[in-house]
Amino acid sequence: MFDKSVYIERRSQLKKLVGGGLIYFPGNVDAAMNYGANTYKFRQDSSFLYYFGLDSQNLAAVIDVDADEDIIFGDDRTLDDVVWMGVEDKLADRAALVGVTLTEPYNNLKEKISSAKSKNQKVHFLPHYRGKTTIETSELLEITPAEVNKNTSLDLIKAVIKQRSIKTAEEVAEIEKAVNISFVMNTMAMKLSKPGLIEREVSGAVEGIALSMSEGVSFPIIFSVHGETLHNHQHNNVMKDGDLLILDSGAESGLHYGSDITRTFPVNGKFSPLQKDLYNIVLKANTEAIKMIKPGVKFKDIHLHAAKVITEGLIEKGFMKGDADAAVKAGAHALFFPHGLGHMMGLDVHDMEGLGENYVGYDDETKRSEQFGLAYLRLGKELETGHVVTVEPGMYFIPQLIDNWKSENKHAEFINYDKLEEMKTFGGIRIEDDILVTNNGFKLIGIPIPKTVEEVEKYCNE
């Protein structure tokens, strides 16, 4: 974990931002996979990690803003626990590592919350995303589970987003460790992939790298010759000569900061002329978008620039037609680029998405669009120094979407539908990097991962 001063300072800032009341942070518990004792890999709640650093099950924390007290609730391991799971340092000693001097048995949490309620002290908590925690909070607050997420604290949500959005040097260093693991994951996938293999033979090895080098993947690996399916978690296809592969994956650092990198490469190690041309259009969108990154620029404008680059490229290749600006304004490019350019990244790979995407990515000046494609943009607002974002333009030929739009003659003034029939087996291309917003521009985080056609082909043929 970080030095305890980091956690003390974060909690002190939070108290100032929230102003009063009692802030309740439930930690995560184990989640059953198919029966209670057979659990998914444990993942602590990211906000709990941010303010309290302790990476284990069955903890909760309370910040009593009015009394200026931070308390961690939890129990030391029993002898039975030790027999099955081994020894763990006493909670009081672990709490001291994050600058918390008050610890109490877990069962005292109920009394703490009840006494706050009886004093009319506001109990702040964040949106819940796990059933077990929701039920427990409903019991603590004596409300129904359905009421839990209706009673979250907007003051707390905004305060947490304000703090977690700006990454400090030690946080960026963690993200960098994760990206450097991504370097190994991606280059190994390029080297391993070849015609005749099943996708999982490579995706399994890629996941193994994340596990062997750190805490595993930051989200389920997307790896497919059907890159036109944006989040394709099936890995059962046989790789064929001439296919393109998309690998969208990330690792978690020891402190659970994530990376999120996408590369696209040819199964047979050599891009066809058409694949190369379309790849270079997406690459241009990626590199030009990255170069636009600096404080004060709206990420939505960067997204729209990437969309224009892709549209211009598609016009040049004859798949689109007309004026690129007008096509982007109308949303016609979304047939090929239906998702957002990127999102914030940190302790969550889509950072803080569980707190509310619109609070994280939008504000009073920048509202989310309802247009197909642009509506999926998770981050639209002005960038600030310390933001960490992904830049991930893509180009896809999605047969069902093409058929649907064609049947409605949608945006027919901008799209050459006849030329798209032969593209329905093309798949997709996405190129994603992780970028820090600096005082006067941007910094690519981590070891640069092969990206140009030449670099990618070189690794594919090693």
Min dist CB 453 to Mn ion, Å, is 22
- 235 or 430: CB nearest Mn ion: 430
Min dist CB 284 to ligand GLY, Å, is 20
- What distance in Å separates the CA atoms of residue 394 and residue 339, rounded to the nearest whole number? 8
- The residues of the shown chain that bind Mn ion, judged by CB under 5 A, are 260, 390
Min dist CB 221 to Mn ion, Å, is 12
Min dist CB 97 to ligand GLY, Å, is 32
Backbone angles phi, psi at 394, to 5 degrees: -150, 165
Amino acid at 158: K
Q: Quick check: 248 binds ligand GLY (CB under 6 A)?
A: yes
369-390 burial, b if ≥16 CB within 10 A, otherwise e?
Answer: beeebbeebbbbbebeebbbbb
The item of ligand GLY, Mn ion, none sharing an interface with residue 457, based on CB under 5 to 8 Å by kind, is none
Residue 411 CB: number of other CB atoms within 10 A? 18
- 248 or 252: CB nearest ligand GLY: 248
250 close to 258: Cβ distance less than 8 angstroms: yes
Stretch 202-231 residues interacting with ligand GLY (CB under 6 A): 219
Torsion, Cα 91 92 98 100, to 10 degrees, reads: 130
Total residues binding ligand GLY (CB under 6 A):
3
- 328 or 344: CB nearest ligand GLY: 344
- 215 or 260: CB nearest Mn ion: 260
x/- contact string, 395-424, with ligand GLY (CB under 6 A)?
Answer: ------------------------------
- 125 or 299: CB nearest Mn ion: 299
Residues facing 432 on adjacent strands: 262
Residues facing 198 on adjacent strands: 238
Stretch 371-390 residues interacting with ligand GLY (CB under 6 A): none
Min dist CB 430 to Mn ion, Å, is 9
- 155 or 357: CB nearest Mn ion: 357
Instruction: Output the CA angle 175-180-185, nearest 5 degrees.
Output: 120
CA 302 to centroid of chain Cα atoms: 19
The item of Mn ion, ligand GLY, none sharing an interface with residue 312, based on CB under 5 to 8 Å by kind, is none
The item of ligand GLY, Mn ion, none sharing an interface with residue 359, based on CB under 5 to 8 Å by kind, is none
Min dist CB 389 to Mn ion, Å, is 9
- 219 or 359: CB nearest ligand GLY: 219
Give me 281's structure tokens: 């259009």
Min dist CB 339 to ligand GLY, Å, is 8
The item of ligand GLY, Mn ion, none sharing an interface with residue 417, based on CB under 5 to 8 Å by kind, is none
x/- contact string, 254-273, with ligand GLY (CB under 6 A)?
Answer: ------x-------------
- 62 or 261: CB nearest ligand GLY: 261
Min dist CB 270 to ligand GLY, Å, is 26
Q: Which of 176, 241, 232, 242 is nearest to 203 (CA)?
A: 232
- Interacting residues with ligand GLY (CB under 6 A): 219, 248, 260
